Chains A and B, each alone.
Chain A
Amino acid sequence: MKKKKRGSPGEVGFNYTPLIDVTFNIIIFFILTTEIAEANLAQVTPPYPADSVAHGRVAGENHCTVNIVVKNPDSKDTEGAGEAKEYQIDGEPIPLGDVERLSQEFKSRQANWQRPAGASKDAEFYIEVRGDERVRYDAVAPVLLAAAKAQIKKMTLTAKKKDD
């Protein structure tokens, strides 16, 4: 009698399908919950006021973000932790207290900004003061003064949003 041939041993393979599923899920998660790092945002810890009225950041060219960074961004609340280092506009450092340079910077950016066609008359150029919560007010005051000198009427302060 003919002997029945045994089947060849099953191939051992790696099941890629769950791996691809998981990877896709991770990619979708990152796409939804992240945003590309903005070059003009320095490492700053913004204030978190009680019942913050801050709303979402506005993207666009109609404003100039002034970052006020501290010397030791990772330091805790200890003496000297809030010592301001410099201003930064689009990554470019500006020395502390240089009102003239800040004012020139605001003026040139305002001049370069063109009101988009169809925008309301209220649409105007403004500055965003993005200061570290630990800096002293005397480091921020020159920014406000420079903005006033550049005849900019509108400004926003960066703060953490209220938890939803």
Chain B
Amino acid sequence: MSEDNNIPRLPASAPRPAGGAKPPGAAARPPAEAHYVKPRKKKEVETTKIHPPLLALIDVLFTLMMFFIIAARTKLAEGEIPGSLPKIGGAAAAASTTPQPITITVRPIGDGNFACQFDLDGQALTEPGQLYEILRRKQAAYGPGTADTVPVIIRPIQAARWKWVVEAFNQALRAQFKEIGFSSAG
């Protein structure tokens, strides 16, 4: 049961009090005649929530991820050291030219030939840094014009590991020699 039905309502055309001012004679009205306006209910607007198909998206993302994990490898940490190849008999030909070529012999040492020494001008060098220092001094002694034409011949012993051959090549290039070649294995 609702009490609202017992409250008398003013007709719609009846003047309503403006602001908070009481209309004249309002005090005389009995409290039972006070009107009550039911608060209007707001219309509920139905909102439709949009649900994109996330599962399909996740499937695709995972597939992409699997592709990259399987088909890719970490960025190669390797690069190329540029060089030039001599013509056939180049090493021998270079030996007869002036200025005299610098010959670096790469000689394996130790168990399994995993270590090496570089023979240069009668000196046995075990550190790449030593080799670089000597080559750099030679390069400076020749001067920038001549040094470019001085051939550096790397002469590895057959059993020398490739890493030491590349090491010698790298140090010669680092010392800014331009004509670096290999002779056949000794």
Contacts and interface: CB of A to CB of B under 8 A. Distances in A.
Interface of A: 16, 19-20, 23-24, 26-27, 30-31, 33-37, 41, 46-58, 68, 77-82, 127-128, 131-141, 144-145, 147-149, 151-161
A23 B129 CA distance: 46
Interface in B86-101: 86-88, 90
B76 A35 contact: yes
Nearest to A23: B61
30 contacts: A30-B69, A31-B68, A34-B68, A37-B73, A47-B167, A49-B81, A53-B174, A54-B170, A57-B79, A57-B80, A58-B80, A81-B112, A136-B160, A137-B106, A137-B159, A137-B185, A140-B162, A144-B85, A148-B86, A148-B90, A154-B83, A156-B81, A156-B83, A157-B169, A158-B80, A158-B81, A159-B79, A159-B81, A159-B166, A161-B77
A39 B43 CA distance: 67
Contacts of B88: 148-149
A152 B162 contact: no
Give the interface size bracket for B toward A: 35 or more
Nearest to B170: A49
Contacts of A58: 80
A140 B165 contact: yes
B163 interface: yes
Contacts of B111: 79
A22 to B, nearest CB: 10
Contacts of B159: 136-138
Contact of B162 (A33, A53, A132): A132
B174 A157 contact: no
B50 interface: no
B104 interface: no
Contact of B170 (A26, A53, A80, A155): A53
A51 B132 contact: yes
A82 B161 contact: yes
A36 B68 CA distance: 8
A56 B79 contact: yes
B48 interface: no
B35 interface: no
Given A19-B58, A135-B161, A160 B78 contact: yes
Contacts of A52: 79, 81, 170
Contacts of B173: 53
A23 B62 contact: yes
A128 B156 CA distance: 19
Given A27-B64, A133-B161, A145 B78 contact: no
B79 A152 contact: no
Contacts of B81: 49, 52-54, 156-159
Give the 6 A-B CB pairs with smallest separation, nearest first: A54-B79, A34-B72, A133-B163, A49-B170, A30-B68, A156-B80
Contact of A134 (B73, B157, B163): B163
B170 A159 contact: yes
The residue in B72, B76, B160 that gathers the most chain A C-beta atoms within 10 A of its C-beta is B76
B34 interface: no
The residue in B80, B106, B157, B184 that gathers the most chain A C-beta atoms within 10 A of its C-beta is B80
A37 B163 contact: no
The residue in B61, B74, B90 that gathers the most chain A C-beta atoms within 10 A of its C-beta is B61
